[in-house]
Amino acid sequence: MNVPVTGQPELGASSSIVILTGAGISAESGIDTFRDKGGIWSKIDYRDVATPEGFARNPRKVFDFYNKRRRRMADIKPNAAHRALARLEQELPGTFLLVTQNIDDLHEAAGSRHLVHMHGELNKTLCEACGQSSRWTGDMSIDSRCPTCSTVGRLRPDVVWFGEMPYHMGRVHAALSACDLFVSIGTSGSVYPAAGFVEEARFNGAHTVELNLEPSEGGGMFAEAHYGRATEVVPAFVDHLIEVAAQQW
Least distance (Å) between residue 224 CB and ligand APR? 16
Candidate list 119, 168, 207, 226, residue with the active-site label: 119
Please state, in angstroms and rounded to a whole number, the distance separating the CA atoms of residues 126 and 176.
Answer: 28
240 labelled catalytic: no
Q: Does 3 bind ligand APR (CB under 6 A)?
A: no
Q: Which of 11, 17, 34, 226 binds ligand APR (CB under 6 A)?
A: 34
Selected binder of ligand APR within 48, 229, 242, 244 (CB under 6 A): 229
Tally helices (H) and strands (E) across the chain: 9, 10
- Distance CA(13)–CA(143), nearest Å, equals 51
Contact 11, 245 (CB under 8 A): yes
Rounded distance between C-alpha atoms, residue 190 and residue 216, angstroms: 8
Rounded least distance, CB 134 to ligand APR, Å: 21
Q: Of 82, 147, 79, give the one whose Cα is nearest residue 111.
A: 82
Q: Which of residues 103-132 bind ligand APR (CB under 6 A)?
A: 119
Using the minimum distance from each CB to ligand APR, give the nearer residue, 49 or 146: 49
Give yes or no for a contact between 166 and 193, defined as CB atoms under 8 angstroms apart: yes
Residues forming the active site: 119
- Which residues are near ligand APR by CB under 6 A? 22-24, 27-28, 33-36, 39, 101, 119, 186-188, 190-191, 212-214, 216, 229-230
